[in-house]
Structure 1
Amino acid sequence: MNAPILIIGAGQAAIMAAEALRTAGYTGPLTILGDEPHGPYHRPPLSKAWLAGEMDASRLPMRTPEMLAGKTIELRTGTKVTAINRAAKTVTLADGSTLPYGGLLLATGATPRTLPLPGSTAQGVLALRTRDDADAIAQRMAVCLEKNLPLVVIGGGFIGLEVAATARKKGLAVTVLEAAPRLLGRVLQPLLSDWYAELHRSHGVQLLLGAQIAAIQHDTSNNVTGVRLNDGTVYPAGLVLVGIGVNANDELARAAGLECDRGIVVDACGRTSDPSIVAAGDCTARRLPDGSLIRLESVQNATELGKSAASALLGQERPFTATPWFWSDQYDKKLQMAGLSAGADQHVLRGDMASASFSLFHYQGDKLIAIDNVNHPKEHLLVRKLMDAGISPTPQQAGDVTFDLNSLLPG
């Protein structure tokens, strides 16, 4: 194919796809359309090192425009796509102009969910997704430090807890309000949820589970002053961070008539219901062999599905089938996860949780389906190799720290 390829979005999936296209020998016009004013940048540091002010600005960009130009990849920032015309094979931009495509890759990402509550639009009620979001939160944190005002985090997921940890390191008073009965309930088993709750409490975070929020309070200037619960309790705040998950940005795809179901529905190669259009990253919902859909929000998913989608545009098969993995840094603890523990019926601890370096193996019958490692990177990489090879240590082997898991790998 030498017809123009357009990529909508300028994040991880977009960059990986664009570079994969060039590596695979595609020599036609290749344009990335990003709606942010910034070029591509790394998102994971936003809630941690970048927000803490510990990261040099030169390290945040993923690729500079000059680097992309060197691969004959055109980057257009501040460019919003408003419609896709599948029949004409064009996209319409916000200024009314159109661009033709032979192949189209959607890497539109996701948008933080908003609170459907009174006061949720007050100044100082913020979410974290973009570089500008992180900068706004950092500026508000500085004001809170100066005026001795607390941070209230709504939502005990990864983003909320990472921001809470960063804020505590900076010296802010922090309260986390989680509606569920435990932290990270969608992704962690209760044993590890409880461990993280104690970790945050040990660092001075006030943590309330089962919190039912009634409203965000603000002053006459519309500046946030606190969060009120259904029982009337008010938690004062100079900043409220809303971390209650994201919605896939599938509006363009949906309006164009592509199949969507809480994301743009794709196969393992990133193909949509239109053979000329592929999608990758957080905007997608991947159809599994059993017909179910899975949404993965991770750097790995964006990277690998981006490469798969690029191959699909060139008529090649490169399905993304690797074991999914994720990570989260909170304080000095690194959680690394591989696989999905939902559906596990047995959980095996390897190591001592009190030592803050341990692993939790999750089994469905005799099959290892997931592992969570805390401060144990070598074991994480080893077990990922085992899982990708379809090898399951027995629960007895997993729980025995003297057993060499490496001995299970062939050769």
Structure 2
Amino acid sequence: MVEAHETHVIVGAGLAGAKAAETLRAEGFTGRVILVGEEREAPYERPGLSKGFLTGAASRDDLFVHDSHWYTEHDIELRIGDPATRLDRQSRTLQLADGTVLTYDKLLIATGSAPRTLDVPGIDLGGVHYLRKLPDAERLRASLQTLGRENGRLLLVGAGWIGLEVAAAARGYGAEVTVVEPQPTPLHGVLGPELGEFFARLHEDRGVHFHFGAGVTEIEGEDGMVLAAHTDDGDEHPAHAVLIGIGAAPQTALAEAAGLALAPREEGGGIAVDSALRSSDPDVFAAGDVAAAEHPLFGRRLRVEHWANALNGGPAAARSMLGQPVVYDRVPYFFSDQYDLGLEYSGYAAPGSYDHVVVRGDAGKREFIAFWQDPAGRVLAGMNVNVWDVAGGIQQLVRSGRPIDPDRLADPAIPLGEL
């Protein structure tokens, strides 16, 4: 039973927000919990939007964090389709789009991120897609199914994780796929050229065409629909649909207007929070994509745009809101599925931070682990590709901060635990 002695408000009804609300109740909080969401859907998990749901392997219902009755059963007030428009920290109030004003004792901002947009002629044509929300995925899946039936062409702008996962889904439906990417390899800024080349070959073997070193300057249309895309090197690519996948930006407008401290661009932007996920206002917290948190392990502020950060950051922020001692020092983790390849990545190896990449296993057979080491031999990150039950060991290597002999690291005969 709710005792309205305190009210904790969560802005952002995604995975981080839903898990924070769940944790508040699990930790015994008996005050009001209000979960405010911009979208008209109950909280759902986003990875499936470019993976199982997009390929048809997962249903719509598989995406939701909780069933429709869970929020009522746990006395959580779910206000969806009603975004927050103004945060007044002095009066500790939050105004919603319908004019409702909520008073809070503690507030969590988990507003996530939004796709970066491409500003070129033709961007408003029918058949141009972004992928962030469930309705986006529904429209894109229908488009891919049509392209597959009609031998149509999909053009992807950006060879990041979203672009590659959508490329794999599109090839599964039988669509022709071209990827335009300014960098010399896919995932160049995330994995570097060594592993970027691996992913180029993976997709080329499945019939994907890459156009590296170029950017899209115009999307040409006919009768309001996509016809082709033009690049800055003078090439033209016929296309019946276009997906823009050029990254995401944290949704900080609410926090910025309220005067909360933001992280600088070189730290990923986002709301600046400490290792307990507290913002510059001790009654306001942030978690998930929007939070740039001080990370004790890496000695710097990180903003992480991945599922595991929302899954774990929401509960950590909830405990911090309750006054519990919290040090959020999770090793960053994400996963990807492309064709018959699955991978997990643990750690953080920014461009320029590592000295070399060590491969354990057979990259040719697409069963290996890659390790990024700094000049001192410390493992900054590791990625297991079609090798399972090793993510925990990789994270222990990252967390240890110990120099490791590259030859021993590359030797499959030496268990990770012995390193």
- Superposition TM-score tier, normalisation by shorter sequence: over 0.9
The 5-angstrom pairing of residues 233-312 of structure 1 reads: 233-261=235-263, 262-288=269-295, 292-312=300-320
Which residue among 65, 89, 94 is the counterpart of 1:91?
94
Greater CA deviation, 203-212 or 286-295? 286-295
User: Shift of the alpha carbon at 1:268?
Assistant: 1.4
Q: Structure 1: how far apart are the matches of 2:189 and 2:73?
A: 42
Q: Where does structure 1 lack aligned partners over 5 or more consecutive residues?
A: none
User: Shift of the alpha carbon at 1:189?
Assistant: 2.6
Partner residue of 1:362? 372
Matched, 1:400 2:411: yes
Q: Structure 2: how far apart are the matches of 1:45 and 1:126?
A: 17
Output the TM-score relative to the length of structure 2: 0.93
The 5-angstrom pairing of residues 95-174 of structure 1 reads: 95-174=98-177
Partner residue of 1:10? 13
SS in 1 for 2:189: coil
Superposed CA deviations along residues 211-258 of structure 1, whole A, max 9, x for unmatched, are 132211111x32111111123321111110000000100000000111
Partner residue of 2:266? none
* Distance change (3 Å), C-alpha of 1:349 and 1:139: same
8 Å Cα contact 1:17-1:307 kept in structure 2: yes
Q: Structure 1: how far apart are the matches of 2:167 and 2:136?
A: 15
Superposed CA deviations along residues 56-102 of structure 1, whole A, max 9, x for unmatched, are 23312111231122222121211111111111111111111211111
Matched, 1:349 2:351: no
Partner residue of 1:330? 338
8 Å Cα contact 2:378-2:398 kept in structure 1: no
Output the TM-score relative to the length of structure 1: 0.95
User: Shift of the alpha carbon at 1:393?
Assistant: 4.2
Identity score, percent: 38
User: Shift of the alpha carbon at 1:390?
Assistant: 4.7
| Cα RMSD (Å) | 1.7
Partner residue of 1:195? 198
8 Å Cα contact 2:214-2:233 kept in structure 1: no
8 Å Cα contact 1:393-1:405 kept in structure 2: no
User: Shift of the alpha carbon at 1:15?
Assistant: 1.3
Which residue among 230, 233, 241 is the counterpart of 1:231?
233
Q: How many correspondences in the alignment?
A: 407
User: Shift of the alpha carbon at 1:269?
Assistant: 1.3
SS in 2 for 1:69: helix
Q: Where does structure 2 lack aligned partners over 5 or more consecutive residues?
A: 264-268
Matched, 1:383 2:385: no
Aligned residue type for 2:244: V
Q: Structure 2: how far apart are the matches of 1:279 and 1:65?
A: 25
Greater CA deviation, 57-66 or 168-177? 57-66
User: Shift of the alpha carbon at 1:322?
Assistant: 2.1
Which runs of at least 4 in structure 1 moved beyond 6 Å after TM superposition? none
SS in 2 for 1:282: helix
Q: Structure 1: how far apart are the matches of 2:283 and 2:349?
A: 35
Q: Structure 2: how far apart are the matches of 1:292 and 1:392?
A: 20
Superposed CA deviations along residues 160-214 of structure 1, whole A, max 9, x for unmatched, are 1000000001100000110111110121032211010000000000111101322
8 Å Cα contact 2:157-2:246 kept in structure 1: yes
Q: Structure 1: how far apart are the matches of 2:81 and 2:88?
A: 21
Q: Structure 2: how far apart are the matches of 1:7 and 1:222?
A: 40
User: Shift of the alpha carbon at 1:2?
Assistant: 3.9
